[in-house]
Structure formats: C-alpha cells, structure tokens
C-alpha cells in the first residue's frame, strides 16, 4: 500500500443483518483490493473497517448505500481513522 492508503470506519444502518450484507461487503472489498473487517453490531447495524486507496474506499462506501438485494439501508456513516495495516479482509462474528 502506498502513501495514499486510508483507513475508514463505516457503520451501515437499516435492514442489514440476515441479508448476507457481511458476505457481500467481503466480496466487494476483495474485488476492490481493500483490507479490513466487517461485523454485525448488537444494535442491528453493520460495522466495517476498510483500508486501501481512497478512491476504492469511496466505491465501497457508495456500494454500502445499496447493499445486497434484500438489504434496506437507511444510513451510512463513514469517517477516516488511524491506519491499522490489515493484511486481509475478514468477516468477524
């Protein structure tokens, strides 16, 4: 990763659990060459940390508003954060 590597924390709210959201984000992040993690939160939202090229992270964030077919996204919060240098993109339980 070069000097343009960024780290974003993203929270997606709405009907985003039980609709393969985490698996879809995982596939999208891998396709974009991003690293980080995705997990469900107790409040029903999905939490994502993504690292990589800012343009690719922006594509991931745009996709977050749509999600997989059965998702109904109501809000997406994204903020830049400190790099953690993830080695891959993981789905956390």
Catalytic residues, by residue number, are: 22, 40
CA-to-CA separations, 25 to 5, 15, 19, 78, in angstroms, rounded: 19, 15, 11, 15
Calculate the CA 74 to chain-centre distance. Answer: 15
Nearest to 51 by CA among 80, 13, 16: 80
């Amino acid at each position: 990763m070069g000097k343009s590597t960024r780290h974003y924390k993203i929270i997606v709210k709405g009907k985003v659990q039980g609709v393969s959201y985490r698996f879809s984000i995982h596939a999208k992040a891998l396709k974009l060459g991003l690293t980080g993690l995705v997990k469900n939160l107790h409040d029903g939202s999905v939490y994502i940390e993504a690292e990589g090229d800012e343009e690719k992270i922006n594509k991931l964030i745009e996709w977050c508003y749509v999600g997989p077919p059965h998702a109904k996204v109501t809000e997406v919060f994204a903020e830049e954060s400190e790099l953690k240098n993830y080695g891959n993109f993981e789905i956390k339980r």
